[in-house]
Chains A and B, each alone.
Chain A
Amino acid sequence: MSDRWRRIGGPGSLLLVLVLGAALWIAPSLDGLTLGDAVTDGGGVDEALDDLEPSPIVLVGFDPDLGTYAEIRPTVRTLLADVLARDGRIAVVSLTPEGRALATAELARLARGEANAARLFDLGFIPGAEAALVDLATGLTTSGGAGGQALGRELAEDGMDAVDAIVVVGGNDLGPRSWVEQVAPRVGNVPILAVTPTILLPEVQPYVESGQIAALLGTVADGAAYRDGAELGNLDRLTEQTEVAVLPILIGLLVAAVAMGQALGARIVGAARSREREVS
């Protein structure tokens, strides 16, 4: 590649990506593109929620990462709305500072969307990583929390015995694996559901295979399939109001495939030419 192309390649690529991204964000989605597909079953979350007791208390371990939260945010908001739509109650706890920042933002958003405040309880932030998880599992306390009084009283009296399911929103340092390691052995048969970005899939998948995680929304396709099938009624207002644009994702994947494919092709051609020169 000539020096000229090398000089304009970097900024040119960036500009191309930005212009395409902006144009495609404005353009409507094309027919024939879908994030969820026929094979994805929405991660088994529907079945896991259906198996819960009526009016379940769901403990949400909210520890996503700032960088990857955008990938799972629509799914997380749909899941929270789904739990509320099933007459469930939500207690939110965070074990990382970033997770706490995002948790307060989501709780504020639920309040702005006029979610039933009596069905929400904010348990706050507990430092200490695994020590915090053990403390939560053995002695859940509501002393630093705020929210629905009846829900708070029930959690204060019964601790983890009052919790019917755990939803772990992962991405940050403390994710579903830490909850399986530290909380699951101490709380008996409380199902753990997880929503994680795709980058964590290799680490979380084995726990799904072994049954230690009851349901996982670990890819964009899983999340899309779950969101398409969720029946939320008027709580649809609590979900992401703008649907994920599929076209920029498609273009991004194609750009990546073409860029890597071109490098591979150039390498193969270069290797073939050098072999020809050796032979001749």
Chain B
Amino acid sequence: MPSPAEILGRVVRFVGEVLGASSLRFEVGTTLVVLGVVLVLLQLVARPVSRWVTSDAAGLAGVGRAMALAAEAGTDAVVSLGGAGIARSSDALGRLQTVAALPILGHVARAAARSGVPLRVLTNDPVAGVMAASTIDAAHATTATLERQGRTRIVMVGEGRPAIAGLAMTARARPAAAFAFGSLREEALLHLDGLRSGAGSLTTATAEAAQASTVRIGGGETLIGPQLYQATADLRSSVDERTMVMAANRLIGLAVALILVGTLLALAGIVDIGSALTGIVRG
């Protein structure tokens, strides 16, 4: 029977062997950047900060009023979850936008549930549809309006971004309010034109950089770029949402400082931080 010291020694040797058989895939700098994101987030989650200044750039806090008007008019509201879906062959940044759109859908769903306005949720991915249905069910449970649950529909439009844009363009519906949250790419303007043409108001939120100007000229209230991820922090007083945004703000500050310092160092010919981070020596 080995002694505790021998067991400890074996464990240490095993860990040593595992570490010895491992190597970093990226440069040290890149690895620290990736881990730094996790560490900053965990640090703020462990010690949440309560001071917060609400911006509500797209006026989502006032969605209750739009729903009240929709209830008076007897119409519904449309929410599109964008074109990336959850389980589609789309890149992670696109799918993450769909995940980030769900809390905003929840906010709209709660306002709609209170006002008795049916929602039509458009998606081109069945898993996103299931998650949207779960979000709406939770909204009805929270607002004690389970009897109104059956009036909301999740519309699965088919595979592909053109499908959801085409449906938005050709639908004859006249919703009181239209919302588009999630990944909107080259089909963005077709999608938004279709939603806007029949709706009383349009609110768009997408983190696609290339479409930032497109959604601005598409009309209505807009959230572009990182605003999609931070929108929920303005709508709810959830500590997790706000620490997430604060962690990101700290990292943005660090990134700006790194760019400034790196630029000075590169101009002085001391070190090229870009090459150090990517491991690629640029000519």
Contact = CB atoms under 8 A, between A and B. Distances in A.
Q: A and B: partners?
A: yes
Nearest to B91: A178
Contacts, number: 64
Interface in A30-60: none
A97 B210 contact: no
A106 interface: no
Interface string B190-206: 00000000000000000
Q: Most chain-B CB neighbours within 10 Å: which of A175, A197, A199?
A: A199
A67 B186 contact: yes
B266 interface: no
Nearest to A94: B89
B92 A130 contact: yes
B274 A210 contact: yes
Contacts of A233: none
B68 to A, nearest CB: 33
A78 interface: no
A202 B210 contact: yes
B186 A129 contact: no
Contacts of A174: 89-91
A173 B26 contact: no
A185 interface: yes
Q: Most chain-B CB neighbours within 10 Å: which of A65, A68, A173?
A: A173
B280 A129 contact: no
Contacts of A210: 274, 278, 280, 282
Interface string B203-240: 00000011000000000000000000000000000000
Interface in B52-102: 84, 88-95
Contact of A203 (B84, B95, B210, B281): B210
B280 A130 contact: no
B280 A211 contact: yes
Contacts of B159: 97
Nearest to B212: A202
B241 interface: no
B250 to A, nearest CB: 22
A177 B26 contact: no
A66 interface: yes
Contact of A212 (B88, B89, B187, B280): B280
Contacts of A203: 209-210
A66 B163 CA distance: 12
Interface string A160-188: 00000000000101110110000001100
A200 interface: yes
A173 B161 CA distance: 9
Given A96-B89, A97-B159, A211-B280, A173 B186 contact: no
Given A128-B89, A210-B274, A211-B282, 4 more contacts: A185-B26, A199-B210, A200-B210, A203-B209
Interface of A: 65-68, 95-98, 127-130, 132, 171, 173-175, 177-178, 185-186, 197, 199-203, 210-212
**A-B CB proximity, top 9 nearest:** A173-B90, A211-B280, A96-B89, A178-B91, A211-B282, A202-B210, A129-B89, A210-B278, A199-B186
23 contacts: A66-B162, A67-B162, A95-B89, A97-B159, A97-B160, A129-B88, A129-B90, A129-B92, A171-B186, A173-B84, A173-B90, A173-B91, A173-B94, A173-B161, A174-B91, A175-B91, A186-B25, A200-B210, A201-B210, A202-B210, A210-B282, A211-B282, A212-B278
